[in-house]
Amino acid sequence: MSSTESQPDFAIEVPPEKRPRHIAIIMDGNGRWAQLQDLPRIRGHQQGATQVRLVTEECCRLGIEQLTLYCLSSENWKRPQEELGFLMFLLSQYMIEERQTMVENNIRLKIIGSRERIPTDVQQEMDISLELTAKNTGTTLCLAINYGGRAEIVDAVRRICSEVQDGSMATDDIDEQLVSDRLYTAGMTDPDLLIRTAGEMRISNYLLWQISYAEMWVTEKMWPEFCEADLMRAIVDFSKRRRRFGGLDKE
């Protein structure tokens, strides 16, 4: 794992073939960032939303095929009701305010996770944005909302069991590809690069199946201070790694 403490040579150009196709980010540290500045936690979430826009636009500029952001975990419902209410408001506003930007930048929106507990008005705004961007062919922005990796796998197992029971498939048909096709991320490529902010060394129930071979990159910076230069550092570091996938380096 690396952090932004190591300063890469920005004169090194990373050719497209050495860039990650799919970047996943655990956006951690909004509340801590705010508290360190004697601000209410919601100010951290506001600033974090601004960074989402900046990082998404930079991924578009770099030709990154997909960006998946961990916006709200299924465990986050344990937080104070006031904070959760503000997060739902912020999500609704993001859908409204960024909708035109996504259309203009050819961004395709995708949302994974459970809709349970998401307010109806927020779901409606999500659906409008999903429909308006469905035919876009640029960077796919995938937001993980009320998402948990274990729950995703359990849902996939239930679907497979149901299909076996109704006779539409046999147990011998079950392989890794079939499981992948029953996950929320069906049809997506797996992440090549997993970034986590705020220095935490864990994956927090995020994309458990999909990140099996992802390169991890951790920074001490909190999400509200993570910027385009930090993204570039992560990509430069990624481009220098040797991805063997269990094999040996080629001679």
28 annotated active-site: yes
Q: Annotated catalytic residue: which of 28, 192, 230, 237?
A: 28
Q: Report whether 234 contacts 217 (CB < 8 A).
A: yes
CA distance 190 to 212: 8
State yes or no: is 105 an active-site residue: no
Q: Which of 60, 53, 133, 64 is nearest to 94 (CA)?
A: 53
| Residue of 76, 105, 136, 205 with catalytic role | 76
Rounded-to-integer distance, Cα 6 and Cα 4, Å: 5
What angle (nearest 5°) sits at the alpha carbon of residue 91, between those of residues 113 and 224? 100
**Exposure pattern of 106-128 as b/e (b: 16+ CB <10 Å)?**
ebbbbbbbeeeebeeebbebbee
Catalytic residue numbers read 28, 76
